[in-house]
Structure 1
Amino acid sequence: MKDEPAATNLLTKLDSAFIRKEPFGLVLIIAPWNYPLNLTLVPLVGALAAGNCVVLKPSEISKAAEKVLAEVLPRYLDQSCFAVVLGGPQETEQLLEHKFDYILFTGSPRVGRIVMTAAAKHLTPVTLELGGKNPCYVDDNCDPQTVANRVAWFRYFNAGQTCVAPDYILCSPETQERLLPALQSTITRFYGDDPQSSPNLGRIINQKQFQRLRALLRCGRVAIGGQSDESQRYIAPTVLVDVQETEPVMQEEIFGPILPIMSVRSLDEAIDFINRREKPLALYAFSNSSQVVNQMLERTSSGNFGGNEGFVYMTLPSLPLGGVGNSGMGRYHGKFSFDTFSHHRACLLSHMGLEQLNEIRYPPYSAWTQRIVRWALGSRSCTLL
């Protein structure tokens, strides 16, 4: 939080230049349901640490967590600096009618557009953490079992209800044939012969999401899993093959334990496929060749990237979380949270004395004074004359 010294030039050598981090003021945080504690408390901590007051809107969909936050937070935090607002879309809509100094929203691109439209009326800056179709490219040069272990873990974690989980695999038909038995083996090892009875596999948040996911099971052909139980809101860890790009499972974010596989003939085709679509929140590439992984990194754009790894980068506060394009804007986590919720104020403190040294800045400008000023500003500086 200390003032950050800034470099000066010859014209300001006797002055004090620094960046001061100041709170924006009143921050609105609209949190999602899929990680209702983490995605509420992490931005809350950053906003309060930066000196802001916060209006917190947990998701009404995760009702138990919403209740816990409303009851427990006042026991530990000064209630003069935050408030928890409960309710559904109507209450959120009413909140957005008011002027805030900063808004952070985590959720879908559709709702993100609504939030940004409301913020624009007051010229309120926003951070939007949105979702999308996260690609996962699997190269022919890889160990299918290693890929299966890592992809299955972060696809089916939290029953697939994770914004940075892979939404589909791109690989050659040959790699698909090697990957399918490896995925089946991994799913059995992780969740047993009857995944429905496994204590390590979550359930779908509500009936609406369950029905949406069950409809997606009709896309392509089920190669692994495909079972569902409405009474428990259970969807089995599922892999779909023979999927067409035009099918719903490839058009919307899945947000469930369903993994489609799309066939591509080469790395170039995979990159072209990814670049034709909206920029994703996360992108993954698996290969024994570092050149292949680097090609995927260099020739695509995404909010986050994992080479031969899943969303383990989320555990590093040294790395920011944020989207790009349709997957969002802005970033937070660790010190990035403090920076996001701080106005970085440029400051220059000068002296009232030594006015004779400033005469060179004032008109009329001779050729000699212009040369001196340009030299004093330095070749990289913008000439404001």
Structure 2
Amino acid sequence: MAAAACSFEATETMKELREAFESGKTRSVEWRRSQLKALLKMAEFHENDILDALRSDLSKPELESLLQEIGMMRASCKVALKELARWMAPEKVNTTMATFPSSGEIVPEPLGVVLVISAWNYPFMLSLDPLIGAIAAGNAVVLKPSEISPATSSVLAKLLGQYMDCSAVKVIEGGVPETTLLLEQKWDKIFYTGNGRVGRIVMAAAAKHLTPVVLELGGKSPVIVDSNTNLKVMEEITCIYFLKVTVRRIIAGKWGCNSGQACVSPDYVITTKKFAPELVHALKSELEIFYGKDPVTSVDLSRIVNSNHFQRLSKLLEEDKVSSKIVYGGQKDINNLKIAPTILLDVPDDSLIMNEEIFGPLLPIITVDKVEDSFKILKPKEKPLAAYLFTNDKKLKEDFISNVSAGGLVVNDTTMHLAEHSLPFGGVGESGIGAYHGKFSFDAFSHKKAVLLRSFAADLTARYPPYTPQKQKFLKALLSGSLLAILRALLGWDK
């Protein structure tokens, strides 16, 4: 009985959304702007409600929530409002002699009714960032928040219901049954953020209707640390500064991003055998400054999202070939679902921790003889969502950009490419399909419609039967684009 009711609700939801889109109201710039402004107002007036929900779901430190969730969402909204008219404007393109006289343009149009399936680790930002793109592009939208972050899901359902046009923007809460029903519907695009296993399920469901997808997945994002961050030609105080900045930025990307529960968090580090002890020492020192001597009690460290993920991470640490490799951390508090920042050195390549996306506060360090050997380690692996390099070596930077394939690269920092709306954010291969952020979000939910505008003048008889050798000669010259060939063909037309 419940399943039948849920199925009916899904059908009615799709019908209402389709009617809203077909009415044309979501296409107007006024509607799009009004919805984007409503999102900004919602974030402003209900900041405390959002912070409370994030704290409940993840014990997320307030600063992380303000910067990485609410702040990034606001920035995306403001960029869309500022650039919307330019994004919506037809793009003029050049045409050739083959269609002379003519003009051409590319007109962005909304795809229709789209589905956004969000993730639990950044449940506010990862729900609203793609939603902003879908609205800016003029679509009707269903948002499905993650049931693993129930407090944020509930807040989103409540607030979007109050602030948005509910005939065109809807929130569907629930778990696997609700998601399965949603995937059975015919959508014009599906945007999914999560893991590769579910990504395959989403893609298979989409294929039944030939629905295009954006899949924002994950992977094992590496960090290469070159000992040249500690250049011998520089004064000692400068060397210490570079190393300090390096480890702080690794820590910020790993443990300062939801305790490592982020798709772009550093998954493991590669450095030289000679430099590894110095790097480990520097990481230990900074981690103690950031989180204290008993990090599982730190209020600045997010908890693991639930007991299932806690047990999964514990299993990675407890593997026989791994547990002896812990050089820092390893403390666990099962009652509060906290795991201390943990560093492991020279973990075997065939261990679980080196063959699964960690998605938690564990950081293996792999050593090589020389830093260039890092590329050999990365080449046979699946392409990650992000890859990072710390170096002062210009040649190494160039080789990194040329040889490492990933969704995005950052040199001398981690995760910060997310903050740049001028850069596309997305994966490649196993780490995802498609990209978003800024105009790339608008494009992800738009169809670029080709438009050719022709005049009634200059109607060439050569394109019509009967086909003659003279007509063929002229058309070949026309298609070649060579003005001289066209003139020759014209001059010899009656011969």
The TM tier, using the shorter chain, reads over 0.9
Would the aligned equivalents of 2:157 and 2:171 in 1 still touch at CA under 8 Å? yes
Aligned in 2, Cα 1:73/1:41: closer, same or farther, shift over 3 Å? same
- Equivalent pair of 1:280/1:303 in contact (CA under 8 Å): yes
Cα displacement string for residues 207-240 of structure 1 (whole angstroms, at most 9, x for unaligned residues): 0001111122222511111000000000001101
Instruction: Point out where structure 1 has 5 or more consecutive residues left out of the alignment.
Output: 380-385
In 2: Cα distance, 1:257 partner to 1:364 partner: 75
Give distance in 2, aligned partners of 1:23 and 1:132.
31
Instruction: Give TM-score, length-normalised by structure 1.
Output: 0.95
Aligned to 1:383: none
Compare relative contact order (CA 8 Å, sep 6+) and give the higher one, 1 or 2. 1
Structure 1 counterpart of 2:311 = 211
What CA distance in whole angstroms lies between the structure 2 residues aligned with 1:164 and 1:56?
A: 23
Aligned counterparts of 1:369 and 1:298: Cα–Cα separation in 2: 45
Q: Secondary structure at the match of 1:142?
A: helix
Q: What whole-Å deviation, never above 9, does each CA across 1:286-329 have from its counterpart, x for those lacking one?
A: 11212112211111100010111111111111111000000001
Residues of 2 paired with 1:365 and 1:32: CA distance?
A: 63
- Partner of 1:22 in structure 2? 109
Measured at CA, do residues 212 and 280 of structure 1 come closer, stay the same or move farther in structure 2, by a change above 3 Å? same
Match of 1:152 in 2: 251
- Map of 1:130 onto structure 2: 217
Aligned length: 377
Q: Distance in 2 between matches of 1:206 and 1:378?
A: 70
Q: CA deviation at 1:10?
A: 2.0
| Counterpart residue type for residue 361 of structure 1 | R
Query: AA paired with 1:37?
Result: F
Following TM superposition, the consecutive aligned residue runs of length 4 or more in structure 1 with deviations greater than 6 angstroms are none
- 1:63 pairs, out of 150, 153, 158, with 150
Alignment-derived partner of residue 276 in structure 1: 380
Aligned-partner SS, 2:159: helix
- Gapped regions of structure 2 (runs ≥ 5): 1-87, 231-242, 485-495
Letter in 1 for 2:207: A
Task: Measure the CA separation in 1 of the matches of 2:356 and 2:482.
Answer: 52
Q: Which residue of 2 aligns with 1:320?
A: 424
CA distance in 2, matches of 1:320, 1:39: 15
In structure 2, the CA distance between the partners of 1:377 and 1:72, relative to structure 1 (3 Å rule), is: farther
State yes or no: 1:95 paired with 2:179.
no
- Deviation of 1:193 after TM superposition, in Å, equals 2.1
3-state SS of the aligned residue for 1:5?
strand
Q: After superposition, where does 1:1-385 map in structure 2 within 5 Å?
A: 1-143=88-230, 144-157=243-256, 158-218=258-318, 219-220=322-323, 221-351=325-455, 353-354=456-457, 356-362=458-464, 363-366=467-470, 368-376=473-481
Choose 288-297 or 35-44, whichever is displaced more.
Answer: 288-297
Following TM superposition, by how much is the alpha carbon of 1:122 offset from its aligned partner in structure 2, in angstroms?
0.7
Which deviates further from its counterpart, 14-23 or 361-370?
361-370
Quote the Cα distance in structure 2 between the aligned partners of 1:377 and 1:17: 20
Q: Is the 8 A contact 2:98 2:479 kept in 1?
A: no
Does the 8 A contact of 2:261 with 2:360 survive in 1? Answer: yes
Q: Which amino acid aligns with 1:62?
A: S
Q: Does 369-378 or 114-123 show the bigger shift? A: 369-378
Deviation (angstroms), 1:25? 0.5
**Higher relative helix content:** 2
Which of 106-115 and 10-19 deviates more? 10-19
Kindly indicate whether the alpha-carbon contact (under 8 Å) linking 2:296 and 2:331 is maintained by their aligned counterparts in 1. Answer: no
CA separation in 2, counterparts of 1:63 and 1:285? 36
Q: Deviations over 1:144-176 (max 9, x none)?
A: 333211111111021111100110001111111
1:251-289, Cα deviation, whole Å (9 max, x unpaired)? 111111110011112234211110111000000111121
Q: Contact 2:118–2:192 at 8 Å: present in 1 too?
A: yes
1:148 aligned counterpart, secondary structure: helix
Query: How many Å separate the matches in 2 of 1:167 and 1:341?
Result: 30
Question: What is the percent sequence identity of the aligned residues?
Answer: 45
The answer to which of 360-369 and 147-156 deviates more is 360-369
The 3-state SS of whatever aligns with 2:443 is helix
Q: Does the aligned pair in 2 maintain the 1:238–1:259 contact within 8 Å?
A: yes
SS at match of 1:344: strand
Residues 9 and 377 of structure 1 are in contact (CA less than 8 Å); yes or no, is this contact kept in structure 2?
no
Please say if residues 133 and 166 of structure 1, whose CA atoms lie closer than 8 Å, have aligned partners that are also in contact. Answer: yes
1:382 counterpart residue number: none
The amino acid of 2:454's aligned partner reads S
1:60 counterpart letter in structure 2: E
CA positional deviation for 1:378? 8.3
CA shift digits 1:312-357 (9 cap, x unpaired): 1111111110000000010000111001100001011223x32x53
Equivalent-residue separation in structure 1 for 2:469 and 2:90 (angstroms):
35
Name the CA shift for 1:150/1:378 in 2 (closer, same or farther; >3 Å).
farther
